[in-house]
Amino acid sequence: MVQSRQSTLAALCLLLALATSVAAENTKSFQVQVTGTGRPILLIPGLASSGDTWTTTVAHLGGRFTCHVLTLAGFAGTAPIDGPLFLTVRRDLAAYIREHHLDRPIVVGHSLGGMLAMALAADHPDLVGPVVLVDAMPFLAGPNLQVRNTEAARPVVAKIETYMSSMTQKQWDAYATSGASTRYMVTSARDAETLVAWSAATDRQTLTRALVEAYSVDLRADIANISTPVLALGTWRGWHDQLAASKIDVPKEAFMGSFAEQFARLPRLHFALHDSARHFIMWDDPAWFFGQIDAFLADPIAATRDRGFDVQ
């Protein structure tokens, strides 16, 4: 009887420990799936996106790298956290690298994930290796809201937050499933359906808060601290069509100039623009995307001797 009670107590203690472990894990600002072997590489998806953003990228890189694929808390069906997402992830990324003893991992970020990659590399220039930015800018509000600084963006961002917060749940669900926020991000109908599903599964408060944070961050001065080589991949068609829908006409030369200005303080950069792919370049033109990454990772220092803004 005593042995039975001890076994039961041990089992209860184990269950309690497991429950505590799961609860602690759920307070993390991102989930991580690790596959592959070789040099570590962190892959950070964008707003309301799943780590599945990188499925084809992992398939391409997995034989040469250990891929740490993130999904940010509250996005695409994951559990949300309280408080700011961008600032929390920005802090937790450095802790993750240290806790797992990752030796100067390569960091790849898409959109919001690219902003986080820049923030991480600027905050901890000795902690990360080469950085790849996929359709990401240091100051997102610049082209999207047509403003020069965060002060000018503040009233516009406040209106966006008020509007999104005032929507009824029915209105929110209808908006999330309409594809209105993602229609210019991909070319294929199947990929568009994936983005709609992720948006619908994303926590409403997290999405609102993260969007407000993204438009309130200006990393243009911070990136001067980044010492590692950076590859920035941009798209023309997706941005052009999105701005055109808002009756904003930006010539291609001016668009390239905007990228050049945004990255002016980044010491070691190579920029490449895709004319026809949209925001999810890795889906729209994987051959071009993988070619750019492979060439960069083969010799990051040589790649950044040319900044890539010759279209101006």
For the chain, give every domain's residue range: 29-303
Residues 25-62 have pLDDT tens digits of 334 899 999 999 999 999 999 999 999 999 999 999 97
pLDDT for the residue numbered 29: 97
204-216 and 150-166 are packed helices; what angle lies between their axes, rounded to 10 degrees?
170
Looking only at the bridges linking them, the beta strands covering 65-72 and 39-44 are: parallel
- Of 273, 257, 269, nearest in space to 296 by CA: 269
pLDDT over threshold 80, residue 273: yes
Q: Give SS3 for 232.
A: strand
Topology adopted by domain 29-303: Rossmann fold (3.40.50)
- What percent of the chain has a predicted confidence (pLDDT) above 90? 79
Q: Which residue is listed with tokens 């920029």?
A: 271
Average pLDDT over the chain reads: 89
Between CA 141 and CA 150 the distance in angstroms is 8
What band does 310 get if pLDDT is binned at 50, 70 and 90? low
Between CA 76 and CA 203 the distance in angstroms is 8
pLDDT over threshold 70, residue 86: yes
